[in-house]
Structure 1
Amino acid sequence: MLLASSAWAQSSADAAKLDTVTVEAAAIADSAVGPDSTIVAERTATGSKTDTDLLDLSSSVSVVTEEEMRTRNVQNLEQALSYTAGVTVDQYASDDRYDYFMIRGFNATSLGTYRDGMSRRTVNFTGGKLEPYGLQRIDVLKGSTSTLFGLNAPGGMVNAITKRPLDYEFGEIYTTLGNEHTETGADFGGPIDQAGKWSYRVTTKWQDAELSADHTQDDRFYFAPAVTYKPNDATSLTLLADFNKRDTNAAHSIPRGSGIDPDTFLGEPGYNDMDRIERNIGYLFEHQFGSGLTFRQNARYTHMDLDYDHVYLSDPDPANGRTAFVVDGERDQYTIDNQLQYDTDIDSVGSRTLAGFDYTHDDVHETSLYGTAGGIDIYDPQYCGEACVDLARQPDFRQKQASQGFYLQQELTFAERWILTLGGRYDDVNTQTADDEADDYAFTKRVGLTYKALDDLSLYTNYAESFQPPTSRNLVSGSADPQEGEQYEVGMKYRPANTNALFTLAVFDLTQTNVASQVGENLYRQIGKVNVRGIELESKLALSDRLNLTAAYSYWDSEIEEDGLAGNQGNRPSLVPEHIASVWADYTIAGNMNRGDVTLGLGTRFVGGTYIDDANSEKTSSYTLVDAVASYALTPSLDLAVNATNLFDREYVSYIDTFSNSSYYGDGRSVLTTLRYHW
């Protein structure tokens, strides 16, 4: 505050000596989908599929805005979510194949990632990773969400919002350099015609990089054009397309207790690929008929090609041999969501009705080879290539899944203080595999109540249910029934008047049945019932265009209440920490006649220890990581920033594979320097 006062006094003195200069800039109007003007969002379209103030929702939603992602220079979805309450990321450490995250103690990796409100599931091995540079915001809806979104894990979901055309001209070009890391990108757009009916946006990124371990890579090419046609204030159509090519690597580990460098590579360089090409094309359509009636239709088609080669540790003694695996995957997914919204007043009661129908068709075909690779000396690795790899063709994996859902939501506002939300949804899911066909049905319900105690303070409570059929039925031993969940939650949200800040508190009790637990290598069995009770605290502040602060804390009391394996009942589920906490703050020292703005930021993330298995045989240690940023405005349009993750190069284990007795270490220190020109 003293620094801000000093800078303000200096600026005032300079202003008295200089002529008045008028600067015109396009202001960012905060919306339910972004972009947001600060790190603090006010509205969301994820919590209820309608444009709603966060204070009015009877559920917990955290928002990671584009400004927050840019300040921390996030490289993947896990980094973007790492300062969010109720979310833990990177639980598999050096396994970077997918975007791994848990919400409220439940794994949400396979089903819990959405883009523009539409599912982007991972089926078997064929699944993608989001490119953060292509996003203008990330919403995290916590708790059971099936009444609106259908097939989902009970802990919640992540909805990534794609960058879209804006109604003013803008742009940036940047270059990022680091140790074995070269990256460049551009993002620009604006109106096409003078009337402003047409606008466009182009976002692109190229990257040639390595991760911290030997023989790893993170190469990318992303290209996303978008066009919006808005003939009038009542109608808009946005066409979105992207090409996302990622050449990455399979997971790697080292034998537990070996004492060797965690960066040591014990696979085969020629069998270490996780390469994907993902193509998306879709649209977002909205038309307002008037008199409170609005229709929306969002759709997307995805085609993905996967090339996955892996030699990994499968024996406690790698000298005895390793396992080899090759997968060639292809996937086609169609998804569409239709929404009809009607807003009206009935006497003194405000009414908002939402009726919808969505449909997703997923067709995945994988051919695979499985076999062995020769042993390796972990202290002096000598790679043998194809000479020591023996593979045999496996039965093809083929799964077609068609899911359709009908949902209805009613919001009633009484006396401008009480908001009652009622929701229900019926899902019908047909899954066909090479030797089986199954139909799963579910009706899920939700009841929520919000009380606006003050204009800037709301209290809420909700009950919600979840429905989660298996994404890959071939991995489940025995019956493959849908996992079902229910949640009770109470909370509070506070947005101080005349302050750009939001404070939230949530207390929940969440239970899921038919939980799948790992009982063998790549084999799971639905054996039980898991309960998680927890508390979440989160605060976001953006003060005086100088100070940004994010703080989050989560406590999870998790328990296996029923279990088909002797001795596990009453234990804590594996990989679920008891405490997670984080704090990030950045402060901008205003420039003067001699220099530009200087921004300094520091963050710390704490993750409590977790059990390595449901038997609670051993626990990994907790760890604390530190991130930092320093940036300098060379000119009003040119910035230089240095970002560091895991600043002190903390060495830590997130995951231990009990079947191979292998340890998975987190990524080491990364320092990236970015030069960005914007207009």
Structure 2
Amino acid sequence: MAMAQEAARVQALAPITVTGAGEDPDQTIVATQTATGEKLDTDLVDSSAAVSVVTQKELQTRGVNTIEQALSYSAGVSVDEYGSDNRYDYFRIRGFSQNAAGSYLDGLATRTLNFTGPKLEPYGLERIDILKGSTSTLFGLNAPGGLVNAISKRPTDYPMGEAYTTLGNDHAETGVDFGGPIDGAGIWRYRLTAKWQDANDGSKYQKDDRLYIAPAVTWAPSDATELTVLGQFQDNEGNSGNSLPVGTTLSPDTFFGEPDFSAMNRTQRSIGYQFRHDFGGGLTLRQNARYSNLDLLYQQAYLSAYSDTGRAAYQVEGKLTQRQIDTQLQYDRQWGRVAGRTLVGADYGDYEVNEQAFSGTAGAIDPRDPGYCGMACISLGSAVPTHIDMETKGVYLQQELTFDDRWILTLGGRKDWVDTDTGTDTSNTQDAFTKRVGLTYKATPDWSVYANYSESFEPVGAYYAGQLATARPQRGEQYEIGSKFRPEGMNALFTIAAFDLSQTNVARSNADFSISQVGQVDVRGLELEGRAELSDHFNLSLAYSYWDAEIKDGANAGNRPQLTPEHLVSLWADYTIAGNDTWGDLTLGGGLRYLGRRYADDANEASISSNVLVDAMASYQIDKQTEVALNVTNLMDREYVSTPSLDGTALFYGPEREVQVTLRRSW
């Protein structure tokens, strides 16, 4: 349960929009366009920000089933912080936790308040963009590391579809995805994506059951006007996380919770739209909006040094409502040898959560031979209500100037206002102005060097009502230089970036459900990334990250921040042996992931060993429309610790080997 506090601490708000990748984003691992870095459709080589893209082809080839799996082969990102715990999407960008602050869906933030927050379903996504570095100048409240924007599947202007079934160890799922034009002129288009899953994670008592349904409709009466309505229903029955006592010799899949009191169940519903109208003369209006609500039931019995029985019990019943809208005006103009793109925008968000929390104890458990006592041994106290209503408003301006198709200057600024009402005297109002400067020089059309300065602003979460009045907002700033290269005649993109990133008033969750602010944390780093189709048959992706992280102030000054490795490495390759109409195409692939040694706490008293994980895949194209695929994660079934609990008495282990076979039929 304590690990959920880390996910719930941070706040994120802001809209972004992302465009498709390349000529056919479904058939390449190399993206070419994004709107993440500048909030304008931009060639990745032109952007003065570091952006990684996980395309639909990569998601399918690697058999991705979680957001953490999707991000695991990208530079600047570490995942798997809490092993098989599937309560939240846990990830860290450039050394800073983004568990709740950095997740976006279709340009709007997917916020977690306290324990109540959504999860993203990878099968419903077209692609995932990862923007690295401080992002508040356009995107509002956010941690300094960056953000992840997931793009929903949306209607196509051609008929398409697929159906699939996946079977694995304690895992079964099936899904469909189809759509296309409704009328002959293609003015109306539709898409329906659905998935059902019955699975266990780690042990037979840790469920990962899902039902996902996402309808979408597009109305495009002309090339100048388009409206897409996106709906989503998601019902997840997940696990409450599992940890093992320090020093135990039992298998990591041993369950130390209580089977009858173990749940992380969510029901998510949302409806939203994306609208675009081109007025002509270089003026375009865009507006994105979404309404969503979520019901949560969280129950967990967990090992705790603070309980007389050795196990604590915790239950949360939560309801979260989110209302968001982002409106943008873009004006393009040419002045001789200078091209200008001006962006003016305003966004609004209202986030309201109501929770009833119950704390107590669970019966003692034998660490050598766990036995369960059922609901009879769960003792909970009285309900502790929590109410948070956070209202955010932001206005932003960005000017981009391109000189002689070589120099690209980007200037931006944003003003944010945040009102947080907890129904107590500690409610407060905060505001901030953030700015950004970026410069790109294109030595050739496919080779650029860039530099940028950017800032971030993030109020401390409102969970601790008693500390809200004294908690100081977290501020960040980043200096970055880099280069991007797209080799002529090859579908590839290689990038390098060096950065100096700092955040002040960094918040930490404590085991006694309080927060502390550790002062300033600095991360200086280097990132190398490449994605390439070396031939029609050979795909390669590689990533390396170096993080030199240090706490600058307070009792732990000079130490390395918790859960921040120094080195991360990943490599993936797959090769297709063509059948040449004699037999089907056979694809073989595999990947390696290295996560360096890191500390479990800011005091650097306990460390977590580095680990190397191997993944593998194979697929056979039975005919042009039918494929069977095998995906294996943690191929060597390596047993490793992801992180200890906050009180240091228990360990979270990484996921064991998972083997899945998929039969897919496309049309």
Deviates more, 1:572-581 or 1:307-316: 307-316
1:531 aligns with 2:517: no
The one-letter code sitting in structure 2 at the alignment partner of 1:672 is: Q
1:649 aligns with 2:637: yes
- Contact conserved, 2:619 with 2:630, CA < 8 A, in 1? yes
User: Structure 1 residues 65, 475: closer, same or farther in 2, change over 3 A?
Assistant: farther
**Who is 1:352 aligned against?**
341
CA deviation vs aligned residue, 1:346-389 (integer Å, no higher than 9, x gap): 23210000000011100000011111111111222221112111
- Contact conserved, 1:165 with 1:200, CA < 8 A, in 2? yes
**Who is 2:169 aligned against?**
179
CA deviation vs aligned residue, 1:101-153 (integer Å, no higher than 9, x gap): 00000001111001111111111000111000000000000000000110001
User: Structure 1 residues 477, 609: closer, same or farther in 2, change over 3 A?
Assistant: farther
CA deviation vs aligned residue, 1:285-323 (integer Å, no higher than 9, x gap): 00000010000000000110001111101128x983310
Quote the offset at 1:527 in angstroms.
Answer: 2.8
- Contact conserved, 1:147 with 1:407, CA < 8 A, in 2? yes
1:573 aligns with 2:561: yes
Structure 2: state its 5+ residue gaps.
Answer: 1-18
> Separation in 1 of the partners of 2:26 and 2:111?
27
* Aligned partner of residue 520 in structure 1, secondary structure: coil
- Contact conserved, 1:577 with 1:609, CA < 8 A, in 2? yes
1:490 aligns with 2:481: yes
1:196 aligns with 2:196: no
Quote the offset at 1:474 in angstroms.
Answer: 1.2
Q: What TM-score results when the alignment is normalised by the length of structure 2? A: 0.95
**Who is 2:402 aligned against?**
413
**Who is 2:92 aligned against?**
102
**Who is 1:259 aligned against?**
249
- Contact conserved, 1:34 with 1:137, CA < 8 A, in 2? no
Q: What TM-score results when the alignment is normalised by the length of structure 1? A: 0.94
* Aligned partner of residue 56 in structure 1, secondary structure: coil
The equivalent position to 1:217 in structure 2, one of 207, 211, 217, is 207
> Separation in 2 of the partners of 1:254 and 1:296?
50
Deviates more, 1:292-301 or 1:249-258: 249-258
Number of residues paired by the alignment? 647
The equivalent position to 1:336 in structure 2, one of 304, 312, 325, is 325
* Aligned partner of residue 570 in structure 2, secondary structure: strand
User: Structure 1 residues 34, 371: closer, same or farther in 2, change over 3 A?
Assistant: farther
> Separation in 2 of the partners of 1:157 and 1:277?
24
> Separation in 2 of the partners of 1:31 and 1:65?
8
The equivalent position to 2:490 in structure 1, one of 499, 506, 513, is 499
Quote the offset at 1:32 in angstroms.
Answer: 8.1
The equivalent position to 1:326 in structure 2, one of 301, 305, 315, is 315
The equivalent position to 1:468 in structure 2, one of 439, 458, 464, is 458
CA deviation vs aligned residue, 1:468-520 (integer Å, no higher than 9, x gap): 11233417747222100000000000001111000000000000001012343
CA deviation vs aligned residue, 1:201-227 (integer Å, no higher than 9, x gap): 000000001112241111000000000
The one-letter code sitting in structure 2 at the alignment partner of 1:323 is: A
CA deviation vs aligned residue, 1:381-430 (integer Å, no higher than 9, x gap): 22111211111123201100000100000000011100000000000000
1:516 aligns with 2:507: yes
- Contact conserved, 2:219 with 2:226, CA < 8 A, in 1? yes
The equivalent position to 1:115 in structure 2, one of 105, 113, 117, is 105
1:584 aligns with 2:572: yes
> Separation in 2 of the partners of 1:330 and 1:276?
10
- Contact conserved, 1:94 with 1:253, CA < 8 A, in 2? no
**Who is 2:662 aligned against?**
674
Quote the offset at 1:521 in angstroms.
Answer: 3.0
1:66 aligns with 2:60: no
1:422 aligns with 2:411: yes
User: Structure 1 residues 360, 30: closer, same or farther in 2, change over 3 A?
Assistant: closer
> Separation in 1 of the partners of 2:465 and 2:86?
21
Structure 1: state its 5+ residue gaps.
Answer: 1-28
Deviates more, 1:651-660 or 1:304-313: 651-660
**Who is 1:432 aligned against?**
421
Quote the offset at 1:658 in angstroms.
Answer: 4.6
- Contact conserved, 2:206 with 2:241, CA < 8 A, in 1? no
> Separation in 1 of the partners of 2:24 and 2:49?
19
Quote the offset at 1:341 in angstroms.
Answer: 0.1
* Aligned partner of residue 380 in structure 1, secondary structure: coil
1:146 aligns with 2:126: no
- Contact conserved, 1:516 with 1:527, CA < 8 A, in 2? yes
Quote the offset at 1:268 in angstroms.
Answer: 0.5
Quote the offset at 1:30 in angstroms.
Answer: 4.9
- In our comparison, the structure showing a higher alpha carbon Rg is 1
> Separation in 2 of the partners of 1:160 and 1:476?
35
Quote the offset at 1:609 in angstroms.
Answer: 1.1
- Contact conserved, 2:524 with 2:547, CA < 8 A, in 1? yes
1:55 aligns with 2:45: yes
The one-letter code sitting in structure 2 at the alignment partner of 1:244 is: Q
The one-letter code sitting in structure 2 at the alignment partner of 1:582 is: S
* Aligned partner of residue 123 in structure 2, secondary structure: helix
1:310 aligns with 2:300: yes
- Contact conserved, 2:422 with 2:465, CA < 8 A, in 1? no
The one-letter code sitting in structure 2 at the alignment partner of 1:522 is: F
* Aligned partner of residue 519 in structure 2, secondary structure: strand
1:239 aligns with 2:229: yes
> Separation in 2 of the partners of 1:488 and 1:197?
46
The equivalent position to 1:639 in structure 2, one of 617, 620, 627, is 627
- Contact conserved, 1:313 with 1:660, CA < 8 A, in 2? no
1:373 aligns with 2:352: no
CA deviation vs aligned residue, 1:558-609 (integer Å, no higher than 9, x gap): 000012xx3x110000100000000000011111333100000010000001
**Who is 1:17 aligned against?**
none
> Separation in 1 of the partners of 2:37 and 2:466?
32
CA-based RMSD: 1.5
1:292 aligns with 2:291: no
Percent of aligned pairs sharing the same letter: 56
> Separation in 1 of the partners of 2:448 and 2:465?
44
